[in-house]
């Protein structure tokens, strides 16, 4: 940040009185510019018929990780709830109509200043199509998922936890709520 969004004067990095972290502070109007993590919201859209469960994935048409597979997800907008953001992103990226379930994963990606959250979701129909940010969308069984071509560690972690919980469900259990810190390096498993 170079200039104040309130008065357009230059800002400098300093620790304001009563604070303990460096912040961008305007030397003219004294506005303190706080920067906070971004929220990434998405869903795990599933279609289950005749005992076969499939998950809807999107192939990215944008960087980072162009051409890699992901769950439909993106940045939360102002004036929407986390659930609304997950539903909007699913519609935008996969053109999919879903019934939103419970929050399933909350993943902290501190090194890129993000928190990723994924909701369980049921596809209401098979009327889906790629949005502007997707090259294609496709349903996959667990065995068909392109594990080596997943875009981000948060996607892999969420899918691994989802399928582990599916085993518990077959044994009479239920889906859990999972939270983890994702610390993998961007080069080996790129994170947005």
* Mean per-residue pLDDT over the chain, rounded: 94
Q: How far apart are CA 64 and CA 34, in angstroms?
A: 26
The predicted model gives 106-118 an average pLDDT of: 97
The CATH number given to 1-35 is 2.20.70.10
40 and 73 Cβ atoms separated by less than 8 Å:
yes
pLDDT in tens, 18-35: 999 999 999 999 999 999
Nearest by Cα to 95 from 56, 146, 129: 129
Q: Using the predicted structure, report yes or no on whether residue 105 has a pLDDT greater than 60.
A: yes
- Homologous superfamily of 38-181 in CATH? Nucleoside Triphosphate Pyrophosphohydrolase (3.90.79.10)
What pLDDT shows up at residue 189? 41
pLDDT in tens, 78-90: 999 999 999 999 9
What pLDDT shows up at residue 191? 41
Per DSSP, the three-state class of 119 is strand
Indicate the pLDDT class of residue 185, thresholds 50, 70 and 90: low
The predicted model gives 33-51 an average pLDDT of: 96
Domain boundaries, the chain: 1-35, 38-181
Poorest-pLDDT segment among 7-16, 34-43, 67-76, 182-191: 182-191
């Amino acid at each position: 940040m170079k200039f104040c969004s309130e008065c357009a004067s230059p800002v400098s990095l300093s620790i304001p009185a009563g604070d303990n972290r460096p912040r961008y502070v305007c030397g003219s109007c004294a506005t303190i510019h706080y920067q906070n993590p971004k929220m990434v919201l998405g869903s795990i859209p599933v279609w289950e018929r005749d005992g076969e469960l499939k998950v809807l994935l999107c192939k990215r048409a944008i960087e980072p990780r162009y051409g890699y597979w992901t769950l439909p997800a993106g940045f939360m907008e102002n004036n929407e709830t986390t659930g609304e953001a997950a539903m909007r992103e699913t519609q935008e990226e996969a053109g999919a109509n879903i019934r939103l379930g419970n929050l399933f994963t909350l993943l902290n990606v501190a090194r890129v200043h993000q928190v990723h959250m994924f909701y369980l979701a049921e596809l209401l129909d098979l009327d889906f199509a790629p949005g502007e940010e997707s090259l294609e969308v496709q349903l996959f069984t667990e065995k068909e998922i392109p594990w080596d071509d997943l875009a981000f560690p948060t996607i892999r972690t969420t899918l691994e936890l989802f399928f582990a919980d599916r085993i518990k469900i077959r044994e009479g259990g239920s889906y859990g709520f999972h939270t983890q810190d994702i610390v993998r390096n961007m080069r080996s498993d790129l994170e947005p």
